[in-house]
Structure 1
């Protein structure tokens, strides 16, 4: 990196624009920035850092106040830097964030930060040729080109005032943080965290598996009823549990087998007793049934006779129901004949031949009318069409009149529409003028409302200024009074200091014959100094309050001059008028598009109306012609249809009447025929009924009806008789069976004793089976739990070994455990880098200290077991002992800090590639060095120029000004600092 040109404006103490030509300064490779204290030497380095990274080093970067306080409001704070990096010349321009006065009104607004990067020799192939204007993109591009973070830059390229010595004085933790930023060893911290996280993860796995083992042990203890072992992996305890469970299982199974045999024997005896009891019960039941049936024999015979008579009456009842249906059909036929005859208005007994002739004549006349139906339908269609044509002709005639009137009024409507469009356009033009005038009056109204407060502020400021004037006058009078009184008592004050035998400070005599006497209310020198201080303080307050009052007075005058003769009420009224005018103009201007559309539509309507009139008149003529033709056809058809319709409303109605009359005559013929057939069927059914009663053995049909029973009664009789016969047959069959042979109904069985014995044996067998089942279930659970427990033991052992190994490694990597030096992996890597820094810094420190001091890197652990590896001590060749760097004197600390910073810069440069760092700045106090040591330091700095490196120094030391040929002089004045290059 090589700097070419720096431009700063309103930055730090520089009020105007200043330019630094680094190409001219760097001709000899070494230049000096010097000037008065506070002139802005360090600000130039801040400007370079701000242009590159948007930050400034040290405490100044924390304040973030970069703008010059005395710069004019219209001057923009900016820094421009031209430099070459990796063969690419570029231009960086930045503006910090700061507060500036508002352009309108009072108060301040925030000027946002800006940044841009421009390629002066063409952009690299991987970069866009366009300028970079986003702050984050500029930062990424600079970081990519320089290869350093801002922390590395402030330790390698720019050694800020009071900062590079911090590395020498810092403790291990601070030094570790700085080295980590410089050398980018975050990946080793990631390795440390990886080990810690891996150890934590494996610890969770081990805890989970240990918890699983403990849960399985507790479950085995619960299932087996054996207290759990205190050891997590007690294999013998598990084996004892399994053996004891197996023995209990075998005992339970043997007991179950024995109890089952006893149960089977008892149940077999019970079955035999139950079988004998059942036989006795069946014999007794059969004999009781036969005795009961003999007692009720007469009743049962009556049931059988009733059932037989009912069965014989069934065919007679069927013939009766058929005769009844025939009689009902005859009655319905007679009623139908009477109804149809009444509808036809004829005698029910009219001759059938006459009825047939009259029906045929009615149908013949209806057929003749069928030919006129289409004509009647066409007549109705034509009449509806005539009505439609008449209505359409009337509508079209009225529309023709309307279109003619509308066509005559269009020219006037077009003229009015054009005037409305022009009005909207003028309103749109005038709206901007009214809006501008409104804004001006709003601003003046704000001024008018601000004046009362400003007047109040002016009155307070003038009152404060007057009080300050009075206070200053009183203080000045008091001071003059004290001075006069002190002069009057000066002889007494001198006399109070005289001592006998010592010369007088005024006359030199050792004798003091008449010393001055003290006066009343003697004034001391301290009293006069206090009065002078009060007078100066009140004078400053008077000047401040007077200036403040003058500023307020000027502000009030400016406000009144701007307002003129207008009043707040006048401005408010005028503003309201302008607002109303604005609203009216805005509404009219908003109508422009609609009014333009209306005008276009009216202009196009003239041709459209002509086309509509032509089309309408053509349609009207065709409708009138069609109406005339249809009228003639309708009149011609009307006479024929009237003759065919007769006294009916329509031909269809007359024809329907004829057809209905013929159908009624035909229906009467059919009813007469059906009635005669029904009378013949009734006579035949009555004869068949009498024959059926005789065949069934009844005297007449009425006797057969008395013997009839319903289906429910017959079912009851069949069921009762069936049960009787079934009971008798069953009882006889049971008594005759071989298995009941020889069994008497009074035989003693002994069933109760056998039942109790079987119940006791069954309960014992069930208890033994339950015990065996529980033992088998416990054995299965133990087998499953034991297998799972052994598997969990097999997984827990390797996991514990791996966890122990991982914990040891994590402790070593993080500087604990077996790590005797308490150095973490990151500290170990940083210690190696620090050792390189110490070696590089020693070469320069030995030269600048004339071979007396050397750096010694210490990797010992800190106090009370804290981490080590990043200690830096100093070997004093005069004493041959190693001493802490903090014991060095001020000048020695400067040499050590400078050497260490340069060594650190060399190592970081080597890490970054070494080709970028063509420029180095050192801002530190060289005044703590004596002449010989300063020569050694200057010789070391001269060596830095080898290879084309440029070194810039900031110092007040005159000898350095004499040794360095090119200088950048910073002059400080009330108008702001200025720069000048001197040789």
Structure 2
């Protein structure tokens, strides 16, 4: 980055416009910026920073502070900086928000902040046409032009930030080198250095990582506690599920002494078994309660021992979030499961006895029902046998009818064949009569062979007419060609006549078109001149209308703002009054929540003998919050009114700046006059394109007419010979056709008549042959039918036909016969069954009595089953809850391990861990690496400034007490060989050490920011503490920066520097405002 020119207007102590030519000052690489105190040396550096970033360092960045109090009220504060970044030459113009006098009336109004960014585009480059360019002279010339890039504060800030690659804070540290800051940096502690380096190198992500680790540690702790809370909830649920089967309670709090309790009335034997079961359960639980990854296992003196003995819990028992809590829950769950299983065994024995009794009763009832069923089957079989005897004669008749139908079925194919032959013959005879009817009477009885012979003769005559047909078609074609030639001849004659008339008028038409084009060109030029004047005039007229309208809106907005401010003040006063009244009665509000036996939130007492009472007009919390909400709503309305009023004022100022003081009516008249004159000129000029098009069409029409005239003349000559050849060919064809037509109108008519006669003869002959064939097949079918009926046992074919049955009638008779036979066989089998016969010989059965006995046994079984199911469900629920508790305990183990790991990392990153021996935070560790780079870069210059005596080194020695470590900075004295703290340097040594540190930091930050080349640096103060020899060495170091093509500006009061540095910028202080003077000695 290299600075070229800086222009300041009404900025800081500069009342007028001052221009600084950096190209002239930096020609030798080193220049001096000097002047008396308060003249404005720092303001020059502030102006550079303001032009680049839109703000200045420190607390001087408000618009009111930036504006010069010595400036004319009508002169706006403005800073213009021209610089080169990389290969791009840019110009940045910035105006801060500032007051200016109102254009109407007295007082001032706010002028919005403005920003402009332009880029210089050399002549001959592609970018010259890429956007609008401004002016000539200093703004543009034969070398190139300035192209506007943006007027947006945000876009300009992003563009400059991307080009420089550093923030404002970094720029102020590496370009505007503040020596006082770096002197303090040399003597600062680790925390102060961390803050400065953190701003320069943007290590916020490492600080954010420390915060994230702390948050994750807290979240992991909450997760582990939540997991233990879930285990506690499962313990309560297991206690509910166990009922009277176990003494399961909260393992994290003391439990009452319920040792040895068993249900009253239980036999002593059961109590002893229960005690023994609890002992075994404790041993089993002790084995199962150890979960992989859980901190610790169940010990004989732990929660299991308290459950086994039934005594109260140890007050030191682990609670949620503490190691061992899960083990205690699992031990108590094991005890409950063993007790529940003992009760399940008792219920299972009772269930087995009830099942045996129910099974016996069910067998007896089933036997009674089976005997009753067999006796009923015997009675039904006797009834069905009697019914079969009544239908014996009908069954014999049906069997005989089916036998005759089977014999007739053998004759059915012959009958079907005879019927088909008869139908074919009838159809053939009808077709023969139909095809013979169109024939002449002398051919009505002719045999089929004679009809076929006549057909062949006519086909031969039809074949001989092929050549005549082709001749007839050619004659028709010739007639059509002759007609076409006649039409073309008439068209060509008309074409020649039209072309001659049109070409005779061509010269006059061409002159008229030329005159029309010249008139339209003059009108279009006039319209373009008027069009350029309309838009500015219309903008001024519209601005004047906005100015007049916004004047009223501003007055209304000011009135509304005043009312909103009054309402906001009243609401605020009302809220404060209610808040004060509530605070005076807060004791009664706190007393309202007191309950006997519950601790007071203020003093902790559990007894409340004299609680305070609310007095008259007491304000509660809801009333105060409602007043606060009303106050906030009024304040929001006031803010909206202020924003609306300010917006209206700014819009009015912008409109007045554009329209001036000219009345809107006068501006409207000017716009209308310009538009009317423009419309007239535009209407005349709009005919230019049409006139040119008309001339072009006329010229194309001229060429077309000439071509048509020539083509028509050639066609007339060729058409005459073609017509004569066609006439000769048509005469020859007519003679041949007369012979072929005979007595018909045409050859086609004669051919059609022959084709119809051939078709009639062929159809009649074929129909006669088909009828004869069908008659022969009918005779053969009659003979076959008679033979088939005789072989089947029928006297005549008619008798066989009457014996036939349809398929559905046959199936119905066969189904009835099969049903009778199946029923007879079933009845015989039923009566022959030995079980049915034995049951029929016994007394009648009584299934109802057996059913009653079985129902009583089933009721007893249901009662026993319900008791067993409840016990089994209790065991299953305890098993399920225990499994969930074990699963939760296993899932919680890695979470606890993760919590320990994250807590260790968080303590290590924050520097509070014992493992972090140097007590360095993570951010400090990263900054230490950057400080080491800065020290190395600074040492190269410090070594030269101190004549090889001093070298800066980074120190990570642990600080004493609770202070952080890792950002120490020491100096090695080559004369003594010892390393000591930088605070031991003298004033002059501190200056050039801080100067070396600043230059080294500039190099490191530049590389960190992306390697943006910084060709202009400023060094502020500190040279007065150097002796003459050290000053020469420091100046030599600064002068060596020219080797890297850098320019350094020294800001100093030291008089000796004026003689040593030829290029100087002097800031002169005056009552009317400071000025600058360039002093460059050759």
The more displaced of 330-339 and 90-99 is 90-99
| CA separation of 1:688 and 1:49: change in aligned 2, threshold 3 A | closer
Which of 26, 39, 43 aligns to 2:40? It is: 43
Unaligned runs of 5+ in 2: 122-144, 150-155, 243-247, 253-319, 550-659, 936-958, 966-985, 1004-1016, 1036-1049, 1056-1063
> Per-residue displacement from partner, 1:277-318 (whole Å, max 9, x unpaired)?
666555555444333222221221222233233334445666
Which of 417, 429, 432 aligns to 2:513? It is: 417
Does the alignment pair 1:197 with 2:195? no
The more displaced of 271-280 and 798-807 is 271-280
> Per-residue displacement from partner, 1:890-939 (whole Å, max 9, x unpaired)?
xxxxxxxxx999979975863553899984359xxxxxxxxxxxxxx998
Name the counterpart of 2:36. 33
> Per-residue displacement from partner, 1:834-886 (whole Å, max 9, x unpaired)?
xx9xxxxxxxxxxxxxxxxxxxxx9999xxxxx999xxxxxxxxxxxxxxxxx
Which of 158, 172, 175 aligns to 1:150? It is: 172
Partners of 1:410 and 1:568 in 2: CA distance: 55
Partners of 2:4 and 2:458 in 1: CA distance: 132
> Per-residue displacement from partner, 1:633-673 (whole Å, max 9, x unpaired)?
23432343355345656534432332332332343344344
Whether the aligned pair in 2 keeps the contact of 1:918 and 1:948 (CA below 8 Å) is no
Partners of 1:132 and 1:410 in 2: CA distance: 55
> Per-residue displacement from partner, 1:187-236 (whole Å, max 9, x unpaired)?
67654432221121233344345445544664676588257745443324
Whether the aligned pair in 2 keeps the contact of 1:4 and 1:23 (CA below 8 Å) is no
Does the alignment pair 1:663 with 2:759? yes
| CA separation of 1:16 and 1:333: change in aligned 2, threshold 3 A | closer
What is the SS of the residue equivalent to 2:36? strand
TM-score by length of 1: 0.58
What is the SS of the residue equivalent to 2:1020? strand
| CA separation of 1:270 and 1:641: change in aligned 2, threshold 3 A | farther
Name the counterpart of 2:828. 732
Whether the aligned pair in 1 keeps the contact of 2:32 and 2:1065 (CA below 8 Å) is no
What is the SS of the residue equivalent to 1:198? helix
Does the alignment pair 1:331 with 2:411? no
Name the counterpart of 1:629. 725
Between Structure 1 and Structure 2, how many residues are aligned? 748
Name the counterpart of 2:406. 311
How many angstroms does 1:443 deviate by?
A: 11
Partners of 1:236 and 1:722 in 2: CA distance: 82
- The equivalences for 1:540-559 within 5 A come to none
Whether the aligned pair in 2 keeps the contact of 1:117 and 1:132 (CA below 8 Å) is yes
Partners of 2:792 and 2:5 in 1: CA distance: 148
What is the SS of the residue equivalent to 2:441? coil
Which of 341, 345, 356 aligns to 1:248? It is: 341
- The equivalences for 1:859-938 within 5 A come to 907=994, 910=997, 912-913=999-1000, 919-921=1019-1021
Does the alignment pair 1:788 with 2:887? yes
| CA separation of 1:793 and 1:424: change in aligned 2, threshold 3 A | same
What is the SS of the residue equivalent to 1:343? coil
Whether the aligned pair in 2 keeps the contact of 1:323 and 1:682 (CA below 8 Å) is yes
The more displaced of 786-795 and 3-12 is 3-12
Partners of 1:449 and 1:918 in 2: CA distance: 51
Name the counterpart of 1:342. 437
Partners of 2:781 and 2:26 in 1: CA distance: 149
- The equivalences for 1:362-511 within 5 A come to 362-434=458-530
| CA separation of 1:269 and 1:727: change in aligned 2, threshold 3 A | same
How many angstroms does 1:62 deviate by?
A: 1.4
Whether the aligned pair in 2 keeps the contact of 1:319 and 1:692 (CA below 8 Å) is yes
> Per-residue displacement from partner, 1:784-834 (whole Å, max 9, x unpaired)?
5244223123224324434655676687769xxx99x9999879999xx9x
- The equivalences for 1:66-145 within 5 A come to 66=67, 95-97=93-95, 112=115
How many angstroms does 1:339 deviate by?
A: 2.0
Partners of 2:1030 and 2:162 in 1: CA distance: 29
> Per-residue displacement from partner, 1:13-49 (whole Å, max 9, x unpaired)?
443657799999x999996516xxxxxx443431233
Name the counterpart of 1:38. none
Partners of 1:415 and 1:3 in 2: CA distance: 66
Name the counterpart of 1:238. 330
Structure number, greater radius of gyration: 1
Partners of 1:229 and 1:795 in 2: CA distance: 24
Partners of 1:717 and 1:409 in 2: CA distance: 112
Tell me the C-alpha RMSD between the 2 structures: 6.6
Partners of 1:23 and 1:601 in 2: CA distance: 70
| CA separation of 1:913 and 1:101: change in aligned 2, threshold 3 A | closer
Name the counterpart of 2:393. 298
The more displaced of 657-666 and 69-78 is 69-78
How many angstroms does 1:948 deviate by?
A: 5.2
Whether the aligned pair in 2 keeps the contact of 1:210 and 1:796 (CA below 8 Å) is no
- Larger relative contact order (Cα-Cα within 8 Å, sequence gap ≥ 6): 1
The more displaced of 379-388 and 70-79 is 70-79
Whether the aligned pair in 2 keeps the contact of 1:33 and 1:967 (CA below 8 Å) is no
Partners of 2:764 and 2:672 in 1: CA distance: 103
How many angstroms does 1:695 deviate by?
A: 5.5
> Per-residue displacement from partner, 1:133-172 (whole Å, max 9, x unpaired)?
997577788897999543788892589xxxx99xx9xxx9
